[in-house]
Amino acid sequence: MIDAYGRKITYLRLSVTELCNLRCRYCMPAEGICKKRHDQMLTEDEMILAVQAAASLGVNKVRVTGGEPLIKPNILSICRRVAQQPQIRETDITTNGLRLNELAKPLRDAGVKRVNISLDTLNRDKYAYMTRGGDLAEALRGIEAALNAGFDKVKLNAVLIGGFNDDEIPALAGLTKRWPVDVRFIELMPMPGDTLFGEQAYIPASRVLEELPDAIPEENHDGVARMYRLPGGQGFVGLISPLSNHFCAECSRLRLTADGFIKPCLHSREELCIKGLDLDGMIEMMRRAVSLKPRQHEALSATEQSRAQRTMNQIGG
């Protein structure tokens, strides 16, 4: 499927739940979210039908996300069924890692190829503060379990937050020397209703390079990330900069929320409902969503919030 600006749409981010076992300050309100009724959410069969619809239009890669996908009781079945679709050559997952200790191997066996794990700090107290109660040791155990489970790739994602973890850039990037992982720094995005962070929190990804003077640029990009390597690094250091450097020209994505809305762009208001539709109905709606993909999202900055009408856990980050 090619959109109005010539971009090939090959990638679906499938959110399987809005719920989470953490409450990261940049993603979710402290009190959690108002739980929707079960019948408002996509069923497993509807998710698989949506993947089939997307696949028939040229999608060949699915990333399962949330909320926290690993708290979904039927997550293994969802991943297995997605990975079994003949046109889907890659099924990946994004997780906070807390449940990977028990689920890494079963996910691998279910056909998941790559895992992205969120890790913003290596300090136990800071981790508990930013996630509102998470246990860093559990996340680290999850990372080790993922490394032992034989995934094609394990990536660690750190949201860059000025005054919080900018002093840990060398330590986080240094994990590429300790483990065969990529470490990617993501600029903090100002999401709707987000009043927690002052202007100093929104630092550009270029700050990472100031802190890593020996980082060597790589020729190839990894999707939306600019890549570097530290001397002695087994994996890459990546920079993802939705604020300072739009990567919209390379956007190949559609997003499906757990309550059944296709979002043509993470930061736009537009949403198209596919819940309750049959395969043809879903295909038609996805075509329409692709035609609505904007050339690029509006400016984002400390003072210009995302136009998305949802928090990140409700979109599927």
9, 16, 27, 139: which one binds ligand SF4 (CB under 6 A): 27
Round to whole Å and give the CA distance between 256 and 315. Answer: 8
195 secondary structure, DSSP code:
-
Nearer residue to ligand SF4 within complex by CB, 115 or 312? 312
Among 48, 191, 239, 251, interactor with ligand SAM by CB under 6 A = 191
- 27 contacts ligand SAM (rule: CB under 6 A): yes
Mapping DSSP onto H, E and C, the string for 92-153 reads EEEECCCCHHHHHHHHHHCCCCEEEEECCCCCHHHHHHHCCCCCHHHHHHHHHHHHHCCCCE
Q: Between 85 and 313, name the residue whose CB sits nearer to ligand SAM.
A: 313
Draw the binding track, 87-106, toward ligand SAM (x: CB under 6 A; -: no contact): -------xxx----------
Q: Exposed, middle or buried: residue 293 (CB in 10 Å: 0-12, 13-18, 19+)?
A: buried
Q: Does 308 bind ligand SF4 (CB under 6 A)?
A: no
Amino acid in the structure at residue 48 = I
**Binding partner of 272, given ligand SF4, ligand SAM, none, CB within 5-8 angstroms per partner class:** none
Closer residue to ligand SAM in complex, CB, 174/192: 192
Cα–Cα distances in angstroms (integers) from residue 253 to residues 88, 194, 270, 306, in the given order:
14, 24, 14, 17
188 binds ligand SAM (CB under 6 A): yes
**15, 52, 91, 96: which one binds ligand SF4 (CB under 6 A):** 96
- Binding string, residues 253-282; x marks residues near ligand SF4 by CB under 6 A: ------------------------------
Among 12, 20, 75, 251, binds ligand SF4 (CB under 6 A): 20
Q: Least separation, in Å, of the C-beta of 217 and ligand SAM?
A: 23
Shorter beta-carbon distance to ligand SF4: residue 91 or 118: 118
> Among 9, 14, 22, 71, which residue sits at the site for ligand SF4 (rule: CB under 6 A)?
22
Residue 222 exposure: Cα atoms within 13 Å on the Cβ side: 18
Q: Could you tell me the two tokens for 296?
A: 């690029």
Answer for which of 13, 23, 226, 255 binds ligand SF4 (CB under 6 A) is 23
53-72: contacts with ligand SF4 (CB under 6 A)? 66-68
Nearer to ligand SF4, 112 or 130 (CB): 130
- What does the alpha-carbon distance between residue 12 and residue 244 come to, in Å, rounded to a whole number? 24
Q: Name which of 161, 239, 244 is nearest 200 in CA terms.
A: 161
Backbone angles phi, psi at 34, to 5 degrees: -70, 115
Spatial distance between the Cα atoms of 186 and 247, rounded to a whole number of angstroms: 12
| Side-chain-side CA neighbours of residue 94 (13 Å) | 22
> What does 23 interact with, of ligand SF4, ligand SAM, none (CB < 5 to 8 A by kind)?
ligand SF4
Helix (H) or strand (E) holding 15: strand 11-15
185's CB contacts (< 8 A; 6+ apart) are 158, 160, 169, 172, 173, 205, 208, 237, 238, 239, 240
List residues binding ligand SAM (CB under 6 A).
20, 26-27, 65-66, 68, 94-96, 118, 157, 159, 186, 188-189, 191, 312-313, 317
List residues binding ligand SF4 (CB under 6 A).
20, 22-24, 27-28, 66-68, 96, 118, 312-313
